[in-house]
Amino acid sequence: MTLRPMSSSDGETSDSRPSFAFTAPLRPEAESLEGSLIQEVWEAGFGRENLIGLWVGEGDLPTPGFICEAAIASLRAGNTFYTPKRGLPELRDSLASYHNRLLGTALSAEDVTVTASGMSSVMLCMQTLIRPGDRVAIISPIWPNVVQAVKIAGGQPVEVGLDAKPEGGFALNLQKLARILDNERPRALFIATPGNPTGWMMESDEMQQVLSLCREYGIWLLADEVYHRFTYDRPVAPSFLSLARADDPVIAIHSFSKAWAMTGWRIGWLVHPAELGDIFGRLIEYSTSGGQTFLQAGALTAINDGEDFVAEMVQRCREGGEIVYQALSELERVRIAQPQAAFYSFFAIDGMHDSLAFCKELLEETGVGLAPGAAFGSSGEGFVRLCFASSPARISEAMDRIKPLLK
Ligand SMILES: Cc1ncc(COP(=O)(O)O)c(C=O)c1O
């Protein structure tokens, strides 16, 4: 095959988007992917001394030793071969039992597929459901990766903004959602509850109404429940899995990252109608070809023996969230809600209209890294996100540093 030599007129693709100096075009969906505004602030702080970075969604605790030991033992035992595509059977069994124990569901291993992270779970859903041009309604502000995953699949994200309450916190306007579903006829509705970045959490009665809408319109409900253990007024967050029938168009997205401090392991799972199992298995075969066997041994220990650690993690976040709330709620310019779920404070600052510039300035002046609200969709401007999954001492120090700039 002969490639055309590059000429000066080749600097633009046919749709006049500038391209690299390649003689063959890239996929527009890949070429036009946006970088993250969180990353932009992170880069501004890279290498800075005495930095307190509260911008990304992870805590300051490493994975507990007993989980690491299980993975190491499995590696040493020679579990280094190809693995079943949908995950080790005993891990899928344990994940089904985990949900049944927590939520009173009646799931079996057939309803569960192990994935290469929560992000990978999101991507598998898009690959399974979204055709080019399909709309995906997304409750926002939202973790930006979801929007980009829709675009990679060739779909069109449609934001459904939560209403910001005057006293802080967020609420879903169900009439507005119903209107958007009726007008836009999306193929899927994506809801992260508990939510990143807002910490908003849906109640069961709202979930029931949303599920009815999805049934009525034939829309897939993608329920991102990766923060379901991080609740501060009850033991576990309400779940769409408790309400869904076996034939409902509901897929739940899960991850080991948050509750077991395993962000670097890249393991997650999906709970789905059993009939989707084969499709997910094939998509995994043709992408990652399955997860690392010995890491799944660690994940199995996390799910079977990790409850004390989860409780410790949630308690740490409860304290962190309380420190942030106490420190910032007394400031006149700040609108902040008492933490209800997830491990973020997403607060508004009166008079602040450019959250990216504000976060860069805050970083420069105080050495504290926060995430700009604009990173989480158009309804996020005017807000900043702070992850409080760190030690009380670290969070207190961050509060001492940033309070003067928020007065
Ligand atoms: C709402 C939400 N879903 C999914 C994920 C994915 O987590 P991971 O890819 O680390 O498993 C995250 C991570 O921040 C998240 O905030």
All domains of the chain, ordered by start, with CATH? 37-63+308-406 (3.90.1150.10), 65-305 (3.40.640.10)
- What would the mean pLDDT of 335-342 be, rounded to a whole number? 94
Give, for ligand 1, the residue of 42, 54, 119 to mutate: max count of ligand atoms closer than 8 Å to Cβ: 119
329 CA distance to ligand 1 middle (Å) = 27
Whole-number pLDDT of residue 168: 87
CB distance 6 to 23 below 8 Å? yes
Characterize the bridge pairing of strands 52-53 and 383-387.
Answer: unpaired
Whole-number pLDDT of residue 35: 87
25 CA distance to ligand 1 middle (Å) = 31
Helix (H) or strand (E) holding 140: strand 135-140
Distance in angstroms (rounded) separating the CA atoms of residues 116 and 118: 7
Whole-number pLDDT of residue 20: 59
- Residue owning the nearest CA to atom 1 of ligand 1: 196
> Does the structure show a pLDDT above 50 at 44?
yes
pLDDT confidence tier of residue 176, bands split at 50, 70 and 90: very high
Contacts of 291 (CB under 8 A, 6+ apart): 83, 87, 114, 115, 116, 267
CB distance 116 to 268 below 8 Å? yes
Maximum alpha-carbon separation in the chain: 68
Query: Angle, to 10 degrees, between the axis of helix 89-103 and the axis of helix 293-305?
Result: 20
pLDDT confidence tier of residue 114, bands split at 50, 70 and 90: very high
The set of protein residues with a Cβ atom below 6 angstroms from ligand 1 is 57, 117-119, 143, 192, 196, 224, 226, 255, 257, 263, 268
Q: In this structure, what is the dihedral angle of CA atoms 83, 89, 95, 98, given to the nearest 10 degrees?
A: -150
CB distance 114 to 296 below 8 Å? yes
pLDDT confidence tier of residue 5, bands split at 50, 70 and 90: very low
Q: In this structure, what is the dihedral angle of CA atoms 149, 150, 151, 152, given to the nearest 10 degrees?
A: 50
pLDDT confidence tier of residue 75, bands split at 50, 70 and 90: very high
- What would the mean pLDDT of 69-91 be, rounded to a whole number? 97
- What would the mean pLDDT of 119-134 be, rounded to a whole number? 97
> Does the structure show a pLDDT above 70 at 374?
yes
> Does the structure show a pLDDT above 90 at 10?
no
Whole-number pLDDT of residue 196: 97
Q: Tell me the Cα Rg of the chain.
A: 22
> Does the structure show a pLDDT above 50 at 372?
yes
- Residue owning the nearest CA to atom 16 of ligand 1: 196
Give, for ligand 1, the residue of 196, 198, 222, 251 to mutate: max count of ligand atoms closer than 8 Å to Cβ: 196
21 CA distance to ligand 1 middle (Å) = 34
- What would the mean pLDDT of 65-90 be, rounded to a whole number? 97
Q: Write the CA distances from 212 to 205, 207, 251, integer angstroms.
A: 11, 9, 15
Whole-number pLDDT of residue 167: 87
> Does the structure show a pLDDT above 90 at 81?
yes
